[in-house]
Every structure is written in C-alpha cells, then in structure tokens.
C-alpha cells in the first residue's frame, strides 16, 4: 500500500505538532508519524502517572480538530524506500508514504557514558527514569541519586520525589562558576527562571560526578566525586544522563548534511536536500520552547508562507540564545572520558568492553575486532558514548532504521527490485 501526502512530518513531539498546526490552514494533505501511542514526544509523554501540561492538551485538541492532518501513531520508519518515499510499519503491517515535502522532527536521546557498574539493575538514564515513572514503575521509598549534567537532572529528581522517592543527591558535573553564570542569565527568560526556582533542590551539588555504581547483582550504592572528594551514598536507584544527542539517523539516510552532531538547517529550517526540513532537537537541543517555534517555522516554510516564517525569526533568536547558554555552561568536562575501566562495557548489546576498543582508530576498526555497535540498538547508545570518548564520528545508519518484521523487509526488497 502506498499513501500520498503533500507534507509528511516525522515525529509528533512539540516540534512536529507545531509544524503540523502551522501548515494545516493551507489545506495541504498532512501526515504526522510517531512511534508512540499518542502525540507529545518524550517531554509530553503519556502514562498512568503522567500529568500533561495545559499547553500539551491544547496542541492535542488542535491537532484533533485539523481535518487535513492525519496522525499515524505507533508507526515506525523502517527505511528510505525510493525518491521521496519512506517505508513505514505499524501494528497492521508495512506501507509506503510518498511525499512532496518532508519535515524531520525526530528529537533526541540521552547521552549515556559508561562507568563501572552502569549496567546494574537500578541504574537508568535521567530521562529514562521519568519515562518509567510516567509508565507506572513504583519508586516510592527508594533512595535515589541523580547524576550527570543539564537541567534534565532537576526535572528527573522532581518527578521521582513527587512519586515518593527519597532523593539523596543531584550530582551536576558542571563547576559552580558555570552554574552561577547560567543563573545570572536566566532573568532574560522569566519563565525559565521561575521553572528553575520551582525545581531547585537543596541536594543539588556542583562539580560532582559519578565514579561507580556499587553492588553485585543490583544497585546498592553510588561512588561520587564531589569537589575532588570521594563520597559513597547507599541507594536503590541511580538516574544518570549527560545531556542529549540529536536523532539524525533518518536525516543521514535521506542525504541531509550533518554538522556538530545535528541536522544542519538554514533560516527557513530547510535541510541541504531540497524539499526537506528539520526542527526541534534533531537540529540541536534547546528545550520545548525552541522546538515549538522551529516547528512552526518549518511548517510555514514547507507550504510557502514566507511572511509567517519571517515573523517568527525574533522568537527563534530569543530561544536560540537560551540554547547557546545551555551548551556553553553545561559543557562536559574532559575528566568524564576517564570514567570507564578496561572491563567496563561500552556496548551493552554485544558485551564489548572499553579495553577491547580503546586502541581502535574508528568505528570500522572497532567492528573488525569486536561486535561494537552491531546489536539491537545499532550503535544508538554506544555510538554517542564512543564519539565523546574517542572522537569517532557517529556510525552511518543502516537499513532497517528501526526493528522491523520479516514481511516488512521482504516488501522493501521487492520494492527495490521493482525500482
């Protein structure tokens, strides 16, 4: 089956929702594709313990009222199936989407760095913990340490405390001087200042980072470096994240230029490939406010509404300035490259240790001597870690871009033969 659309949007987070709503008044046939059961992305994720903000509810209601926007939920992109065609897979099977214009709103994922014990049960990403709590995983009464870098640490800690976790420490690797400079800039964005004040916790510690997760079969404690001093904290849960990595795999597969780990775009959110746009965290992390305005710009640009795009440029500059502050003040310290021991796993899917790949020159060399990056996640976790640890460029995406059923791959092979 092949469906035709004027505008195909991949990702129904804030950027994708804003893009669809910006383009909808044009009357274009619009499809919004997302692998989650409902629109909202990770930041507005549904779940038994999720409480959607009013803005997220308004966007959902507006999408439901837009009769020319079709939402395809629980749908994954499997492969590029030809010129301006993607092979998609949902619960019913595989189908092809043919489009005139495409907007990539594929978001980002957490950067997870390997350290001794990071594979123990009870250790998750900071954003991963939020998702688990929204999904109903009980954390009440558990002692929690949150570690890594960035504002997500505070949000994750607040979510866990609200669910009954006993917060022991928030270990932020950035130095106090950087955090002070960031705080002094926050009055430029009053909403962010208020949010920071609401999320701040007295357990927050600057110049602190995880050294090891302690335990035999599951997490029993965490060893931290705090201001150069070693501290061990008993706990049942560790949420650890070192920022975000843009999801660029589909953009790479489509031939879009990648710069600074993100999909490169111009003032119109246009990619290097004609008729293709990108918005939100796949173009660089800046929070939901930046994602919303970038999505709106991409939506208007895709349907030729240039005046509406220009009117949004000042708003984008304002939130891009906030993103620049985030990137500068929460830059990862070089010492984090020294966390892993020789026997620390870097590739969890294939049990490949740091010592097995530390002397290799790049991804190809590492794969020739191990199965690094060849497991179920296709390098999405270890690839980001290896780029930070060794400076290796991210591995090129391979088909299928998502886990797919055999009949979907057969359909792709048949389509390729027909072409």
Q: Are residues 131 and 211 in the same domain?
A: yes
- Same-domain check for residues 117 and 101: no
Domain check: are 214 and 291 in the same one?
A: no
Looking at every residue in the chain, the average pLDDT score rounds to 94
Rounded to an integer, what distance in angstroms lies between the CA atom of residue 239 and that of residue 87?
35
* Shared-domain flag, residues 26 and 105: yes
Residue 417 scores a pLDDT above 80: no
Query: What is the tens place of the pLDDT at every residue in 268-297?
Result: 999 999 999 999 999 999 999 999 999 999
**Domain co-membership, 139 together with 234:** yes
**Helices 126-134 and 152-162: angle between axes, nearest 10 degrees:** 30
- Residue 334 inside a domain? The answer is no
312 and 394 in a single domain? The answer is no
Domain that holds residue 119: 112-242
Task: Say whether the peptide bond before residue 400 is cis (omega within 30 degrees of 0).
Answer: yes
Does 314 share its domain with 375?
no
- 419 domain residue, yes or no: no
Tokens 């909202």 appear where? 40
| Per-residue CA distances from 128 to 131, 133, 223, 239, 385 (Å) | 5, 9, 21, 8, 17
Dihedral pair phi/psi, residue 294, rounded to 5°: -65, -40
pLDDT of 57 > 70? The answer is: yes
Residue 193 has pLDDT above 70, yes or no: yes
Q: Is the same domain home to 144 and 51?
A: no
Count of structural domains within the chain: 3
Would you give the end-to-end CA distance of the chain in angstroms? 15
Task: Assess whether 224 and 264 both reside in one domain.
Answer: no
Q: Has residue 13 been placed in a domain?
A: yes
Q: Which residues contact 11 (CB under 8 A, 6 or more apart)?
A: 33, 34, 41, 104, 105, 106, 107, 280, 282
| Residue 353: DSSP 8-state | E
Q: Per residue in 311-364, pLDDT tens?
A: 999 999 999 999 999 999 999 999 999 999 999 999 999 999 999 999 999 988
Crossing angle of the two packed helices 306-329 and 176-185, in degrees rounded to 10? 150
Q: Apex CA 129: angle with CA 127 and CA 133, to 5°?
A: 120
| pLDDT for 165 | 97
Q: Which of 242, 270, 291 is a domain's end point?
A: 242
Q: CA dist 366 to 7, 59, 374, 398, Å?
A: 40, 45, 11, 17
| Same domain membership, residue 148 and residue 201 | yes
The position carrying tokens 């560790």 is 238
Banded model confidence at residue 418, pLDDT cuts 50, 70, 90: low
Let me know whether 388 and 306 are in one domain. Answer: no
Q: Are residues 37 and 90 in the same domain?
A: yes
Residue 386, domain member (yes or no): yes
In tens, the pLDDT along 124-182 reads: 999 999 989 988 999 999 999 999 999 999 999 999 999 999 999 999 999 999 999 99
H or E segment and range at residue 209: strand 208-214
Separation of alpha carbons 117 and 64, rounded Å: 45
Q: What is the percent of the chain with per-residue pLDDT over 70, rounded to a whole number?
A: 98
Distance from C-alpha of 392 to C-alpha of 310, rounded to nearest angstrom = 37
Letter string b/e over residues 148-170, b meaning 16 or more CB atoms within 10 A of that residue's CB: bbbbbbbbbbbbbeebebebbbb
Of 276, 299, 326, the last residue of a domain is: 326
- Comparing 213-222, 387-396, 409-418, the range with the smallest average pLDDT is 409-418
CATH of the domain at 149: 3.50.50.60
Residue 19 binned pLDDT confidence (cut-offs 50, 70, 90): very high
Confidence band, pLDDT 50/70/90 cuts, at residue 409: confident
Q: CB of 134 within 8 A of CB of 47? A: yes
Tell me: pLDDT of 17 over 90: yes
CA-wise closest residue to 271 among 67, 104, 403: 104
In a domain, 19, yes or no: yes
The model carries a pTM of 0.94
Encode pLDDT of 78-88 as tens digits. 999 999 999 99
Q: What angle (nearest 5°) sits at the alpha carbon of residue 128, between those of residues 194 and 183?
A: 25
- Close Cβ partners of 245 (under 8 Å, ≥ 6 residues apart): 108, 109, 110, 111, 261, 384
Q: Is the pLDDT higher at 13 or at 49? A: 13
Say what percent of the chain tops pLDDT 90: 82
- CA quadruple 288, 290, 295, 300: dihedral positive or negative? positive
In a domain, 331, yes or no: no
Chain mean position to CA 285: 9
Q: Which of 242, 276, 291 is the last residue of a domain?
A: 242
Task: Give the pLDDT score at 47.
Answer: 66
Residue 118 and residue 213 in contact, taking contact as beta carbons nearer than 8 Å: yes
């Amino acid at each position: 089956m092949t469906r035709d659309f004027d505008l195909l949007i991949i990702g129904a987070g804030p950027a994708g929702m804003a893009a669809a709503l910006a383009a909808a008044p044009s009357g274009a046939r619009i499809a919004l594709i997302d692998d989650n059961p409902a629109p909202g992305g990770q930041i507005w994720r549904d779940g038994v313990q999720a409480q959607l903000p009013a803005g997220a509810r308004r966007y959902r209601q507006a999408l439901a009222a837009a009769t020319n926007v079709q939402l395809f939920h629980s749908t994954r992109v499997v492969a590029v199936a030809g010129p301006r065609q993607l092979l998609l897979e949902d619960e019913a099977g595989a189908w092809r989407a043919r489009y005139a214009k495409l907007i990539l709103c594929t978001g980002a994922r957490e950067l997870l760095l390997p350290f001794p014990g990071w594979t123990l049960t009870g250790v998750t990403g900071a954003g991963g913990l939020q998702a688990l709590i929204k999904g109903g995983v009980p954390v009440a009464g558990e002692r929690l340490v949150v570690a890594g870098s960035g504002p997500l640490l505070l949000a994750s800690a607040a979510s866990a405390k609200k669910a009954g976790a006993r917060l022991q420490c928030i270990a932020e690797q950035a130095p106090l001087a950087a955090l002070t400079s960031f705080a002094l800039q926050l009055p430029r964005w009053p909403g962010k200042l208020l949010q920071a004040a609401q999320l701040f916790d007295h357990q927050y510690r600057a110049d602190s980072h995880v050294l090891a997760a302690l335990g035999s079969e599951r997490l029993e404690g965490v060893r931290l470096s705090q201001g150069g001093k070693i501290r061990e904290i008993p706990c049942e849960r560790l949420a650890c994240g070192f920022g975000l990595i843009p999801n660029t795999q589909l953009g790479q597969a489509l031939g879009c230029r990648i710069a600074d780990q993100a999909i490169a775009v111009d003032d119109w959110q246009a990619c290097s490939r004609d008729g293709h746009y990108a918005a939100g965290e796949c173009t660089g992390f800046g929070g939901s406010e930046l994602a919303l305005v970038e999505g709106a710009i991409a939506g208007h640009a895709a349907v030729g509404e240039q005046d509406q795009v220009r009117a949004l440029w000042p708003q984008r500059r304002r939130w891009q300035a906030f993103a620049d502050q985030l990137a500068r003040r929460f830059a990862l310290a070089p010492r984090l490259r020294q966390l892993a021991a020789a026997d620390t796993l870097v590739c969890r899917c294939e049990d490949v240790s740091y010592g097995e790949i530390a002397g290799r020159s790049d991804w190809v060399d590492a794969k020739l001597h191990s199965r690094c990056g060849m497991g179920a996640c296709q390098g999405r976790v270890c690839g980001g870690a290896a780029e930070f640890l060794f400076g290796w460029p991210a591995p090129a995406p391979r088909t299928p871009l998502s886990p797919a059923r055999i009949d979907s791959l057969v359909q792709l092979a048949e389509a390729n033969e027909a072409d």
